[in-house]
Chains A and B, each alone.
Chain A
């Protein structure tokens, strides 16, 4: 278990486990948006706006994970 192998393992695990949360969150947001759109097709504008807003908030968590992985890969010796 040389240090390079451990470093690669850690980065891979961080990225893999970290992206589970945001992916699940975005799927749930899309699911509820589709359900409410099917129930009430007239409110398309309001649902779309709020879906994009909350989608970007959940996406931000994935971006934090990406930043941690980039720092681990390129800055830490």
Chain B
């Protein structure tokens, strides 16, 4: 392949320093020094990654504990509010560049919601689903900035970081999952009416009809309706149980992915210090977006199922 001089310059100025840094990290970091047998020089000493699953408290205000993930989620909220104010100042009918960015974000999310929910219910489902998506993806992406995990206080010979990725605290996915549960049930009740929605779970109509038919003497259809009604009741209870376990699986899916990503980056930058963890940052970008899409997409799918009235074949 013939290299033009421009491409040759990129090759020399980019790849060679990266290779040199990788070799330095390999030789002088932890992995290299365990092969060679000598201690790494002082500038290359990386502290052993200390994995703490619960989040660490920083301040105590009265009886309320402020943990480092709480500070990180406040930071996310601050960034989102400032960004949205900045993007939507002085809105005109023909958008300038900032407004076009905001409009493209909203339009992308609207298309996503409409592709699954259909035109009729998009307006109702949009706010909840889009909020979950934007919040989860902002938490995941803002955690990749350099000052997360490095600025901290020294507290009884232990280093506590002031900022820690908000999604790695199990409370954040749990609270979003609880909200998603309440959203789905409230959408269902708003769309088909509360009593109809609840009757999709606890469905005693067929059983009662079977009982009536037994007592008025229709022996052919009575017991059959009674037995099928009993099975329907059991299936309804199973539905309630499945709605409740959705919260559990939402929580652990997001928490596990984000914590595994954080541990991966910590360990990879401990083993080979300088350049080796860059592909893992790329993986973390991909995983953050996929998890946000999954969380909001599953909420959307369950909401669509909830607002679609079940066809009543018993009438």
A residues near B, CB below 8 A?
A: 52-53, 56-57, 59-60, 63-64, 66-67, 70-71, 74-75
Contacts and interface: CB of A to CB of B under 8 A. Distances in A.
Contacts of A56: 253, 290-291, 293-294
30 contacts: A52-B290, A52-B293, A53-B293, A53-B297, A56-B253, A56-B290, A56-B293, A56-B294, A57-B294, A59-B257, A60-B249, A60-B252, A60-B253, A63-B252, A63-B253, A63-B256, A63-B257, A63-B260, A64-B256, A66-B256, A66-B260, A67-B255, A67-B259, A70-B51, A70-B53, A70-B259, A70-B263, A71-B53, A74-B51, A74-B53
Nearest to B258: A63
Chain A CB within 10 A, most for which of B51, B53, B256:
B256
Contacts of B252: 60, 63-64, 67
Q: Is the interface of B mostly helix, strand, loop or mixed?
A: helix
Interface string B264-277: 00000000000000
Q: Is the interface of A mostly helix, strand, loop or mixed?
A: helix
Contacts of A63: 252-253, 256-257, 260
A64 B250 CA distance: 11
A61 B241 CA distance: 19
B180 to A, nearest CB: 15
Contact of A53 (B51, B260, B263, B294): B294
Nearest to A67: B256
Contacts of A67: 252, 255-256, 259
Contacts of A66: 256, 260
Interface in B291-311: 291, 293-294, 297
